[in-house]
Amino acid sequence: MRRAEQREQTRQALVRESRRLFATVGYGAVGLSQIVAAAGVTKGALYHHFDSKAAVFRAVLEQVQQEVAEQVVAAAEAQSGSWARLTAGCRAFLTASTAPEVQRIMLVDGPAVLGWAEWRALDEAASAHHLAEALADLVADGTIATQPVAPLAHLLSGAMNEAALWLATTTSPYALEQTWAALARLLDGLRTA
């Protein structure tokens, strides 16, 4: 095996095992020694790839956010029409956010570990721009009133992130459907007559 392949396998093992640990017990309860033991590598190997536990977490968070974005995009692209794409993408985000691993890593520990600004920048890079693009399409085709897209995208993103956090703490078996119904009514309010 070439060195580059071996380095990549080591990095993948570190991210995979860190993700499992962070999802199971949370960032604060995981030590570097646990990560390297689970990955079967040395601390030196970890430090070759990452300069801190926070850097490992950032790689895990990027992976989780990218997977959620892929689910959202796939759901949206399976629809025809800009409105159906928006609503399918929003619903896919809420559904993906109900996974305990996603809740813990992306919604609870992400902002706390990296800080709001860095977490938001990663969110923007992973999926928030898809929401802005969908809204821009809806403004362009007249489905929603002409307005600045950036503030609307941030408002909807914030509402969905807050809803996802609520979903992480509620015990109601109907929470996802109730949340989707509320969001659907909110979105419907944006449509032009």
* Binned average pLDDT, 10 residues per bin, the chain of 193 residues: 88 97 97 96 94 97 94 96 96 94 93 92 84 95 96 93 89 94 96 88
Ordered domains of the chain (ranges, CATH): 1-51 (1.10.10.60), 58-188 (1.10.357.10)
Structural contact between residues 114 and 58, judged by C-beta atoms closer than 8 angstroms = yes
**Amino acid identity of 71?**
Q
Query: Which pair of structure tokens corresponds to residue 52?
Result: 């801190």
Structural contact between residues 122 and 61, judged by C-beta atoms closer than 8 angstroms = yes
Who's near 27: CB < 8 A, 6+ residues apart?
53, 57, 109, 112, 113
Give the H/E segment covering residue 157. Answer: helix 149-169
Who's near 168: CB < 8 A, 6+ residues apart?
97, 98, 100, 103, 107, 108
Instruction: Tell me the whole-structure pTM to 2 decimals.
Output: 0.90
